[in-house]
Structure 1
Amino acid sequence: METRVAVISLIVTQPEAVEELNAILHTYSSYIIGRMGLPYRQKNVNIICVAVDAPQNIISAMSGKLGLLAGVNTKTVYSNVIAKE
């Protein structure tokens, strides 16, 4: 199975979305390389960056579910690195 390295960037504007966001990330935790969260208190938003190594369909599913959350904006960037598992 081929996997890709990608980064999912999220901006969270509604704190009540964080619990469901964390539940989704936990579901895909075996694919997550690392995660960094930055609270930007002056603007009342949280900025989260999630690095993943997963098959294309898994990355798309995770990004799609995160993007459907109210108060969460996402953008996914894919690397050109494709590897066989």
Structure 2
Amino acid sequence: MEETRVALIGIMVGNRDSVSKMNSILEEYGTYIVGRMGIPYHKRNISVISIVMDAPQDEISALSGKLGMLPNVSTKTIYAKMPSTAE
């Protein structure tokens, strides 16, 4: 079985234009997503989203890269210190 890692992808969405495309991309990686939390910050007109994944390194990187290429979307990925092997 392929080694997986646990990662958190932080996403800042500057306006709603990219939301439908972002959700479509997240759906592609749904089997790897452990949890998702979104917080609209109306005062600043942004949304802050966190995605927790347990996936192979290349899948995490691919998702983060695709999201980061969307207009008005910024991402940052952090990894757990120790790799986690899928059961």
1:1-85 aligned at under 5 Å gives the runs: 1-85=2-86
Instruction: Specify every segment of 5 or more residues in structure 2 that has no aligned partner in the other structure, as ranges.
Output: none
Instruction: Specify every segment of 5 or more residues in structure 1 that has no aligned partner in the other structure, as ranges.
Output: none
Structure with the larger strand share: 1
Deviation at 1:48, TM superposition (A): 0.2
Deviation at 1:80, TM superposition (A): 1.8
Q: Alignment identity in percent?
A: 47
- What amino acid maps onto 1:16 in structure 2? D
What TM-score, normalized to structure 1?
0.97
Deviating 4+ runs (over 2 angstroms):
none
What is the total number of aligned residue pairs between the two structures? 85
Deviation at 1:84, TM superposition (A): 2.7
What TM-score, normalized to structure 2?
0.95
- What amino acid maps onto 1:58 in structure 2? E
